[in-house]
Amino acid sequence: MRTGEAIAMATKQETKATGIGAVEIPGRDNQMNCADFQRDLPLIIDSGGSEEQEEHLRTCDVCRDLVNDLRYIADQAKLLVPMLEPSPKVWDGIEEKLKLEGLIKPVQARRTP
Amino acid sequence: MTSGMPESEAIERAQQGDGECFEALYSMHKRRVYSLCLRMTGNTAEAEDLTQEAFLQLYRKIATFRGESAFSTWLHRLAVNVVLMHLRKKGLPEVSLQETMEPTEEDGPKKDFGAHDQVLAGSIDRVNLERAIESLPPGYRIIFVLHDVEGYEHNEIAEMMGCSIGNSKSQLHKARMKLRDLLKITRAERAGARK
């Protein structure tokens, strides 16, 4: 058996045994499968991958959906704005400590807006 | 105040010990610092204590601010360090870093080799995302908040947390995968409730 045929057969056997999908590209024996792609994904998701990895992404629905989901989560996280504010007791505590340390002088009765 | 006073002037006067200007700076930045503390700890009481500590440190250190970066960036970094120091003092494994900070397998996300179900796009609202972040294992949550919410780069996170850049990338990926799982569960529960 030639080397290329052996690799192709091994890949098909791995796919059958583990359920791990592999993209079928005619003429390419040593193609990237989902396990390989997802193993490297942490390092490439924000910066882009090699030609082979990008090819896998273009042709594999499962990995493409995964990457789209992860990028969507990251994009949504960027939109989170500081909504909540601390209770007034936080400033009271700061002011009290600074006065105790003599760092600020007592201010007339007044509260942070 | 001080109302209408430019931030740069408030900083300059606070550096000279003006308490009212310091209070004005507190008012300008309290939401962002508190949100950071709350998201990183997931605990309201801790977040308030840490917000207080961050501003106390700010008062003590403000004279050293030289304007080499934006004041908000400088303050934010100071607040992150306060939170990380607090978590280290608590002795939590999530900040002992490197591989020991990895959550257990059952905490972690599953790999996705075969399942092909609906994508998340368009289905996340702010409340659900905040809740999902809060329920992340602490190690994942800290990296996710620093990178995806607060916008720190991996090299900055690695420096702050004393880990490798690769470790930061790996933890971030696991955090996003775990969030994906959590958000899909939330979506399925909401769909089930509507039936």
Quote the mean pLDDT of chain B: 84
What pLDDT sits at residue A33? 86
Interface of B with A in 91-150 (CB under 8 A): 111-116, 119-121, 124, 126, 129-130, 133, 144, 148-149
A48 contact B CB<8A: no
For residues B107 and B93, the answer to whether their CB atoms sit within 8 Å is: no
B104 SS3 class: coil
Locate B115 and state its tokens: 């399942």
Q: Residue A103 carries which DSSP code?
A: S
> What average pLDDT does this structure show over A23-35?
60
In chain B, which residue's Cα lies nearest the Cα of A85?
B31
DSSP string, B122-149: T---HHHHHHHHHTS-HHHHHHHIIIII
Q: Say whether B100-194 and B7-89 share the same fold.
A: no
- Whether ipTM tops 0.90, in short, is no
The Cα–Cα gap between B119 and B45 comes to 36
pLDDT category at B95 given cuts 50, 70, 90 is very low
Q: Answer yes or no: do B151 and A78 touch at CB < 8 A.
A: yes
Mean local confidence (pLDDT), B113-120:
63
- For chain B, what are the domain ranges? 7-89, 100-194
In the numeric block, the tokens 């583990």 are attached to A18
Cβ neighbours of B47 (radius 10 Å): 23
Binary contact (A78, B148; C-beta < 8 A): yes
* CATH architecture for the domain at B7-89: Orthogonal Bundle (1.10)
Q: Which fold has domain B100-194?
A: Arc Repressor Mutant, subunit A (1.10.10)
Q: What are B20-74's pLDDT values in tens digits?
A: 899 999 999 999 999 999 999 989 999 999 999 999 999 999 999 998 889 999 9
Q: List all residues 6 or more positions away from B36 whose beta carbon is below 8 Å from its beta carbon.
A: A82, B76, B79, B80, B83, B145, B150
pTM: 0.77
Query: Domain coordinates of chain A in residue numbers?
Result: 3-78
Cβ-based contacts of B47 with chain A (< 8 Å): 86
pLDDT at B19 (0 to 100): 87
Q: Please indicate whether, in this complex, the C-beta atoms of B51 and A90 are within 8 angstroms of each other.
A: yes
* CA nearest to A72, candidates B120, B125, B70, B11: B120
Q: Is the pLDDT of residue B117 over 70?
A: no
Q: Which residues are paired to A33 by β-bridges?
A: A22
Q: What is the DSSP string of A24-82?
A: --TT-SS--BHHHHHHHHHHHTTT---HHHHHHHHH-HHHHHHHHHHHHHHHHHHT---
Cβ contacts of A83 within 8 Å, gap of 6 or more: B31, B35
B162 close to A (CB below 8 A): no
Residue A5 sits at the chain B interface (C-beta within 8 Å): no
Hey, how many other C-beta atoms are within 10 angstroms of the C-beta on A41?
A: 22
What's the CA gap between B51 and B37, in Å, rounded?
7
- The helix (H) or strand (E) run that includes residue B58 is helix B44-61
